[in-house]
Amino acid sequence: MNKLLKTLLSALSALPLAYLATNTYLHFKHPQTKWDWSEIDTEDSEFPDDFLWGTATAAHQVEGNNENSNWAAWEKQKNENGEPRIKTGDVSGKAANQWELYEKDIELMKELGVNSYRFSLAWSKIQPDKDTFNEDALQHYDDVINALLKNGIEPMITLHHFTHPIWFEELGAFENEENIKYFVEFSQRVFARYKDRVKYWCTFNEPNVYITGGYFITEFPPGIYSPVTAGIVFENILKAHVKTYKELKKHEPTVQIGIVQSTFQFEPLRRWHLGDWAIARISSNIFNETTLSFFRTGTMNYLLPFETSRSYTDLEAPNTIDFIGLNYYSHHAYKFDFDFRKATQSIAVEGEEMTDMSYTIYPEGIYRAIEEVSKLGKPIIITENGIADAKDDRRGKFIKQSLYAVSKAIKDGFDIRGYYYWSLIDNFEWAEGYSMKFGLYEVDFETQERKLREGSKEYIEIIKKFNSK
Ligand code: GAL
């Protein structure tokens, strides 16, 4: 046998060993934690006295009459097959009319016993065109903030929750670095007006969802598959955050400014299959790590192997968040395919109960997400966690188990300052339209009546036990 053949054969015989070693390493590095809930007493939880107990919404989803934004245009369009962009054919329209009914909604918050409310500003209402700031809209949010404070509810504002004015979209939004200045200007304007009363600010809600929705899954505007543009937008949004943080903090160093990160775990469908592992790890790196590593190390490493990569460093980045907002919903399993779009179609993890969304109930995942974001070394606020459950037969248990997991994380030493349930009321769930029922309160969109769901009483009970404010 010649030498070359010999070397080739011995290399081949080492392959199974290498496969096994890699698999074992991944197995231990990324365990798919499972808790035995039948053994757990969910009553056994504790929360600090000054904990923020809240609920969250976003302008486009609840206010109504958001007619001048990227999403307003998007929800009226059809896709290349002539089908409506929104799966149900809904448009947001009047939504839950919170613009007019905010006082009623504050009553609901009082009934729940929460001490904080996270909501977003509709940039498109405040700055309908580049040169106009609308005083009525600015005044409206003054009224909302004042009403919250009067009722002992701490406001938390999100500056960008997926939507922005159509003029900004037409300029290329965050695809164009030049446009960052418009976002910073808008933020400065509203900050100057509300900073005396609002202590908690989130710059961006979930850059990773905005970007994967818009440039990978294409169910969000602009709906163009482009991993390359996605990398550019990541970089520009992270830059916009840093600039905004610095500008705002200059004027009021005592406020707390953070960014909101959605965290999902990505599991290999078959834990013995290295292809499944590869897709899961690549997805997790893009979705979770691009933002997290930037605030942990100062470097954003965005990488889709064989397609594109982008790296950006700003060593000051870790000093530009006072807290990390964590949104947690569930985990996904992925199965290998050479086509990345096919490979990242969400598969529900086997053996777990479904939510009404395409993912399962996995409350222990919130503990894993907390561990992950805690590596930033900043206080954590859980800015969203909730369940779509139209039948309301899983919500109560979901709340108990999720809050048990949060409490365990606090006991284990993680610095968690608050928890905001998504959502206060049913609302317009983006690509899913009005089909998804996340609300603690059910909304009849004809009459705008709100009704407390049975399962939500678990949240009331827990808050009652621990909220001393
Ligand atoms: C988040 C988003 C919210 C809400 C929620 C439920 O990603 O920030 O606006 O839609 O998901 O799916």
Does the pLDDT of residue 2 top 90, yes or no? no
What does the pLDDT look like over 441-463, one tens digit per residue? 999 999 999 999 999 999 999 99
What does the pLDDT look like over 173-209, one tens digit per residue? 999 999 999 999 999 999 999 999 999 999 999 999 9
Does the pLDDT of residue 163 top 70, yes or no? yes
Asked whether 209 lines ligand 1 (CB < 6 A), one says: yes
Question: Average pLDDT, stretch 437-442?
Answer: 99
Asked whether 169 lines ligand 1 (CB < 6 A), one says: no
Question: Average pLDDT, stretch 26-42?
Answer: 93
Confidence of residue 385 (pLDDT cuts 50, 70, 90): very high
The per-residue pLDDT for 1 is: 63
206: CA distance to ligand 1 center in Å? 9
> Position 338: which residue type?
F
Question: Average pLDDT, stretch 114-133?
Answer: 98
User: How many Cα atoms are found within 13 Å in the side-chain-facing hemisphere of 252?
Assistant: 17
84: CA distance to ligand 1 center in Å? 20
CA dihedral 310, 315, 319, 324 (to 10 degrees): 20
CB count within 10 Å of CB 408 equals 19
430: CA distance to ligand 1 center in Å? 8
What does the pLDDT look like over 145-161, one tens digit per residue? 999 999 999 999 999 99
The per-residue pLDDT for 235 is: 98
Question: Average pLDDT, stretch 430-438?
Answer: 98
pTM over 0.85: yes
Does the pLDDT of residue 403 top 90, yes or no? yes
Q: Which among 62, 113, 117 is positioned nearest to 439, based on CA atoms?
A: 62
Listing DSSP states for 382-427 in one string gives EEEE----TT-SSHHHHHHHHHHHHHHHHHTT--EEEEEEE-SB--
Asked whether 159 lines ligand 1 (CB < 6 A), one says: no
Asked whether 52 lines ligand 1 (CB < 6 A), one says: no
The per-residue pLDDT for 266 is: 97
205: CA distance to ligand 1 center in Å? 9
Ligand 1, atom nearest to 357 Cα: 12
High-pLDDT (> 90) share of the chain, %: 92
> Which residues have a Cβ under 8 Å from the Cβ of 18 and sit 6 or more positions away?
none
Per the CB < 8 A criterion, the answer to whether 367 and 33 are in contact is yes
Distance (Å, whole) CA 335 – CA 278: 9
User: How many Cα atoms are found within 13 Å in the side-chain-facing hemisphere of 123?
Assistant: 29
63: CA distance to ligand 1 center in Å? 15
The per-residue pLDDT for 8 is: 85
Confidence of residue 9 (pLDDT cuts 50, 70, 90): confident
Please state the φ and ψ torsions of residue 443, each to the nearest 5 degrees. -115, 130
Mutate to test the pocket of ligand 1, among 60, 92, 158, 327 (most ligand atoms within 8 A of CB): 327
The per-residue pLDDT for 31 is: 86
Asked whether 426 lines ligand 1 (CB < 6 A), one says: no
What does the pLDDT look like over 42-96, one tens digit per residue? 999 999 999 999 999 999 999 999 999 999 999 999 999 999 999 999 999 999 9
Please state the φ and ψ torsions of residue 26, each to the nearest 5 degrees. -60, -40
210: CA distance to ligand 1 center in Å? 10
Question: Average pLDDT, stretch 296-315?
Answer: 98
The per-residue pLDDT for 3 is: 86
Distance (Å, whole) CA 282 – CA 264: 13
> What's the whole-number average pLDDT of the chain?
97
What does the pLDDT look like over 253-291, one tens digit per residue? 999 999 999 999 999 999 999 999 999 999 999 999 999
Does the pLDDT of residue 469 top 70, yes or no? no
Domains of the chain, CATH where assigned: 37-264+317-330+362-467 (3.20.20.80)
Per the CB < 8 A criterion, the answer to whether 48 and 415 are in contact is no
The per-residue pLDDT for 7 is: 85
